[in-house]
Amino acid sequence: MKHFPIFLAVEGRRIVVSGGGEAALAKLRLLLKTEARITVVAEAPIADVEALASKGRLTLIKRALEPGDAMCASLFYAANDDDGEDARATKLAQADGALTNWVDNLGQSQFITPAIVDRDPVTIAIGTEGAAPVLARSIKADLEARLPRALGILAHVGKTFRRAAEALPMGRKRRAFWSEFYDRAGPKAFDEGGADGLNKSLEGLLKKHLCAKAEDGHVSFVGAGPGDPELLTIKARRALHEADVVIHDRLVTPEVLELARREAVIIDAGKEGFGPSMKQTEIDALIVEHASNGAHVVRLKAGDPTVFGRLDEEIDAVNGAGIAFSIVPGITSASAAVASIGQSLTKRDRNASVRFVTGHDMKGYAEHDWRALAAPGQVAAIYMGKKASRFIQGRLMMHGAPPDTPVTVIENASRPDQRVLECRLASLPDDISAADVTGPALILYGLLPRAALALAHELKEEIAL
């Protein structure tokens, strides 16, 4: 992020615009929505700029910018439609200590103006750091259509009621009050009685929440998916938005954690196979401790919490403490991995079942029904099998699996740095080692990427001919 988004207080402060043509007028239409004192410096302003000055909307100085004109200005815009004059004006304004924007020149600007959705006092700023202005406008149009017409009025009335709402304790209870007002009670009251009915609605709602019993803590076991935040369910996003505490696995990506509420406490409870780990009993105690204090705890697990996530142990701990819980399933990495190679986990006349197995358990390398797995046509998704690959290879071949059985290793499934390794069982551990697979990897036993499979069929047909 090269530009840090902020909302600058400009009430009563100077904003200076150098230029009086169409480019300047376009900026003025936006700047005049603020409560700043606008000064325009231009030798030959167009009629529309003159008209704004005559109405007292801005101060107009009819000459070229001079040293000192931008003194004490909070912001400065160079909008002369002339590169030479804009360069000169920008240099003068910077010498006066103003933050400068050279219109349509990202490289020479100290700040940029985002696309803005205005539901005063609700303001949404959309920026693309100059990379895609058309995209920013498209997002703005979409938000304009989605946001309710009464949003600004609700925010204005809510602002005047904030002191009264401080009777509610800070945190979850106060958030619940405002959420109900903005999501349900406020829009309903406005539709039924207009702005006049909003204060009465707030007063009734406050009494309801003051008398309401304090909510007990709750634990949501949430699947974070394989890493791509776009693969999160809507329910998972809502849980992250509402969480007071998020306790997450090592494999949960920063992009997913970014979706948690800003004020939430984020706790890394990472566990690593054959490596340093937080003990399961410590994780259980953390969950229970925070939920017992009335927090909404999201236990965020990579993939799906019901697949090799030790979910039952954590549920037992929560149940034992008398704490309510819910489970929000996620996309397991096997689904993301097989989709990334254009295959399916099951296929008619190939395999009527698929096995989800783990490469290791609490006692070390995990044992399975290797004879059944080594039978022709079997497909398995092997989790946590990277470090156990030589053990898995040995067990399968010992029980009759052909050395040329196709195996695909997907590292960082669904993420931007995803890698796909096409292997055969005979070379599996060596291929993983040679590729220096360091990220989380899932092994698809019995499957090749669709493109590789098609190529193999073509070669086979050529050989037959």
SS3 assignment, position 457: helix
**Beta-strand relationship, 441-445 and 406-411:** antiparallel
Per-position DSSP letters for 16-82, written without gaps between them? EEE--SHHHHHHHHHHTTSSSEEEEE-SS--HHHHHHHHTTSSEEE-S---TTTTTTEEEEEE--S-
Number of residues that make up the chain: 465
**Beta-strand relationship, 14-18 and 37-41:** parallel
**Catalytically active residues, by annotation:** 249, 271
State residue 17 phi and psi, 5-degree precision: -120, 125
| Neighbouring residues of 210: CB distance < 8 A, sequence distance ≥ 6 | 167, 168
CA dist 234 to 222, 223, 331, 339, Å?
Answer: 11, 11, 12, 21
CA neighbor of 379 nearest in space, from 412, 357, 394, 403:
357
CA neighbor of 441 nearest in space, from 393, 388, 374, 369:
388
How is residue 157 written in tokens?
Answer: 């009335």
Per-position DSSP letters for 73-133, written without gaps between them? EEEEEE--S-HHHHHHHHHHHHHTT-EEEETT-GGG-SS-PPEEEEETTEEEEE--TTS-H
Sign of CA dihedral 458, 460, 462, 465: negative
Q: Cis bond leading into 416, ω under 30°?
A: no
Number of Cβ within 10 Å of residue 450's Cβ equals 12
Q: Round to whole Å and give the CA distance between 166 and 212.
A: 15
Q: Which residue has the tokens 């200590």?
A: 97
Q: Round to whole Å and give the CA distance between 201 and 203.
A: 6
